[in-house]
Amino acid sequence: MIYKKTYDSPLGIINMESDGEYLTGLWFDGSRDDKKHNSQGVFKDLDIFDETADWLNSYFKGNNPDFTPKYKLKNLTPFREEVFDIMNKIPYGEVITYNDIACKIADKRGIKKMSAQAVGGAVGWNPICIIIPCHRVVGSNGSLTGYGGGIENKIGLLKLEGIDLSKFSIPKKGNAL
């Protein structure tokens, strides 16, 4: 069974999804990420939704929450796991590039190069936005690209974390990584 609940954030409605025990999805309503999630589900109050709402309340007050709601990632490939391990280590208030992640994976694997576009695909797969901080990944050219939750929301999240956005650009077309 899939359970759902919504959270009213300063940036708009955020959808939460759970298997009853773990958070399995978190995304902005009406965003591209809507397509990644099952539209079916039963709206229900669950402890995991309360825990997630507590995390989001703290985050949207400008804090770096000191706990993480328990979540489960379905269909996590070994490559996605490598990317997610790096994403989860991006400090609050900082960003890294898709290429930075690609270089870290290449170093770890002992190979010369890893595709930043492949990294972009793994980052874009993220079913749990904000908590898994894919919004902190930017293009190597300073482009605020590649956020399924919407560029306006990415900008809002980065501003909330105190990131100086003057050095970044909004992509006109495409997804330069």
Q: How far is CA 93 from the centre of its chain?
A: 14
Q: What is the dihedral of CA 83, 58, 17, 132, to 10 degrees?
A: 0
Please name which of 58, 31, 63 lies closest in space to residue 147, comparing C-alpha atoms.
Answer: 31
Give the largest Cα separation in the chain, rounded: 49
Around Cβ 153, how many Cβ atoms within 10 Å? 22
The full length of the chain comes to 177
Catalytic residue among 134, 138, 144, 155: 134
Q: How far is CA 85 from the centre of its chain?
A: 12
Residue 103 class from Cβ within 10 Å (0-12 exposed, 13-18 middle, 19+ buried)?
A: middle
Degrees to nearest 5, angle at CA 157 with 155 and 163: 75
Q: For this structure, is 134 an active site residue?
A: yes
Catalytic residues: 134
